[in-house]
Amino acid sequence: PGDQIRDPYPRVILIPGLGMINTGADAQAADVSSQLYHRAISVAGGSQALSSFVSLTEQEAFDVEYWPLELYKLSLKPPPKEMEGRVALVTGGASGIGRAIAQRLAQDGAHVAILDINLEGAQQVAEGLIQKYGHKRAMALHCNVTDEAAVQEAFRQVTLTYGGVDVVVSNAGIAFAAPIEETTLSDWNRTMSILGTGYFLISRAAVDLWKKQNMGGSLVYIASKNSVFAGRNAAAYSAVKAAELHMARCLAEEGGAFGIRVNAVLPDAVLQGSGIWEGGWREARAASYGIKPEELDDYYRKRTTLRVNVYPEDIAEAVSFFAGPRAAKTTGGAMTVDGGVAGAYLR
């Protein structure tokens, strides 16, 4: 009497003809329950040599689980983190903004699946998270987001590993800048494929899974200031970023009845550690402003209302908000993280 009931959910589920499913507060705890039950199977089998295996009675099991010293030990555990027990999938997670997002969601308590076309980079990020937050807290998968089969397989692998997905951050992308007359059809198609088709395929897989799980979900797009800002020499990039933002709003309407939230973060000029600034993008943007490439950081800082540079961690902070319970009643939203660019103010 007076005891608060502990988590009543089973830790071992045996399915005849299929096998064993283990659950836990996190992947490491589920793995421990698997190891312990395999040992219990061994003990039960060995007992047959002497007599027969007899399990604890319900009263004995209760006395062990609700032993005062055990309850006291459990009371010393720190409170659960905001994203504890949730699984997040981040595309383009090997570098820059994606890496910062993966790190922040893991810090918030989530298990994180890092998808990237750069598998080695994704593995390095995952290994760092495992070292910091524990066994099985992260996994890395090679995924080309424009490949339908690859996207479906990635979601399958994450579901098999963690039991499902709760949060998806669509971030994988490229940048392209050129005057319209210098933009080739190949340039246009590549930009649309990665930033348009890639976001579509990831979104479709996420929504399909969430409807089957029937537990809701949170989809966060990493769009851009260019989603709402008309600028020179980036028609292909800006057009598809605008399409991303509108697709997020449309999916918010589609998913609302299923508890699926869809929101977008609109960054600008995140130079630090970002792969999109490779391959001439920095030089092209600097040329469009009539400055040297090495002057770009200072140029972007000075043009903002707050006179600040924007870093990957700033974007990750916004994603953390949209992904978790603090934004439980927010969908179809867009948050600018750009230091203040008057032409991109939402209205």
pTM for the whole structure: 0.90
Q: Which residues are catalytic?
A: 237
% of the chain beyond a pLDDT of 90: 67
Residue 234 pairs in a beta bridge with: 178
Torsion sign (Cα): 128, 134, 135, 137? negative
Give the N- to C-terminal CA distance of the chain in Å, as an integer.
58
Backbone dihedral angles phi then psi of residue 257, each to the nearest 5 degrees: -65, -15
Is 345 in a helix, a strand, or coil?
coil
The pLDDT of residue 197: 99
The pLDDT of residue 118: 97
- State yes or no: pLDDT of 2 exceeds 60: no
Q: What is the pLDDT of residues 232-271, one digit of tens each?
A: 889 999 999 999 999 999 999 999 999 999 999 999 989 8
Q: What is the pLDDT of residues 307-347, one digit of tens each?
A: 999 999 999 999 999 999 999 999 999 999 999 999 999 87
Q: What is the pLDDT of residues 128-177, one digit of tens each?
A: 999 999 999 999 999 999 999 999 999 999 999 999 999 999 999 998 88
Backbone dihedral angles phi then psi of residue 41, each to the nearest 5 degrees: -60, -40
Q: Are 317 and 199 in contact (CB under 8 A)?
A: no
- Per-chain mean pLDDT for the chain: 92
Domains and CATH numbers, the chain: 12-75 (no CATH), 87-344 (3.40.50.720)
Which tokens go with 94? 């090997």
Number of Cβ within 10 Å of residue 177's Cβ equals 23
* Contact partners, residue 339, CB within 8 Å, separation at least 6: 268, 269, 300, 301, 304, 305, 306, 307, 308, 309, 310
The pLDDT of residue 278: 67
Mean pLDDT of 277-294: 79
